[in-house]
Amino acid sequence: MLDVTNLTVSYGAISAVRNVSLTVKAGEVVTLIGANGAGKTSIVKALSGLVPKASGATKFRDTDISSLPAHEITRLGLVHVPEGRKLVPSMSVEENLICGAYCRTDKQGIADDLDAVMARFPRLRERRHQLAGTMSGGERQMLAIGRGLMAKPELLILDEPSLGLAPLLVEEVFNIIAGLKQEGKTILLIEQNALEALNSSDRAYVLRVGEVVMSGQSDKLAEDPELRRAYLGVN
């Protein structure tokens, strides 16, 4: 579904990402792992159109999205749930979810999806009229993912969903991801938490200082001694 070839992203003179290539097939959960500053977020921001690419080709479902503006990329079904969630704190839970469906015109479909999201996240239903700014970290993450789902994504990009959450909530988030995987959703997962990420995904790419240094089946990579030493803290 997603084909990235030789992607380079630069901020001024600094190239954050150099010649990265990756693919995501329909129904897969692919994860990008790596330390802070390895360039993971820059890659997805470039994919979703938030930052410009310096060079490289990106194809999403047979459409070249290399030079498309962000709002059009979303409309093609490439939905990016951003790092830090970026909710609108002054809007209610329900309004934030409606925002996710902004580019859709099918009223009934939107209503149905709203119910589905509420069903998936009962806590959101409880608080549907509460302002997003007053919710806890875990609830906000659910809201962000729910909002992403409201866009009827073909490919859902989750950028650091477990960041800043307590361990119990981290577990909850990855349960949600597992649930989505079971439903056959295609996901590109960006994570610092390498262990959980590898457990939840089919394939993985390891990034270091803007370049892909390792890639392959997640379960195989999880057994790689070098990786275990570098990212899983195992001796």
Q: Tell me which residues touch other proteins (CB under 8 A).
A: 12-13, 48-50, 52, 69-72, 74-75, 79-80, 82, 84-91, 95, 98-100, 102-103, 132-133, 140, 151
Distance of CA 208 to the CA centre of its chain: 19
Quote the least distance from Cβ 58 to other proteins, whole Å. 16
| SS (HEC) of 183-197 | CCCEEEEEECCHHHH
Which segments of the chain does DSSP mark as H helices, in order?
40-48, 70-75, 93-100, 107-120, 122-126, 137-150, 167-182, 194-200, 218-223, 225-231
What is the C-alpha separation between 49 and 45, in angstroms, rounded? Answer: 6
Quote the least distance from Cβ 72 to other proteins, whole Å. 8
Quote the least distance from Cβ 75 to other proteins, whole Å. 5
Q: Between 139 and 227, name the residue whose CB sits nearer to other proteins.
A: 139
Q: Between 104 and 228, name the residue whose CB sits nearer to other proteins.
A: 104
Q: Between 32 and 73, name the residue whose CB sits nearer to other proteins.
A: 73
Q: Between 165 and 206, name the residue whose CB sits nearer to other proteins.
A: 165
Do 182 and 161 meet the contact criterion of CB atoms below 8 Å apart?
no
Quote the least distance from Cβ 159 to other proteins, whole Å. 10
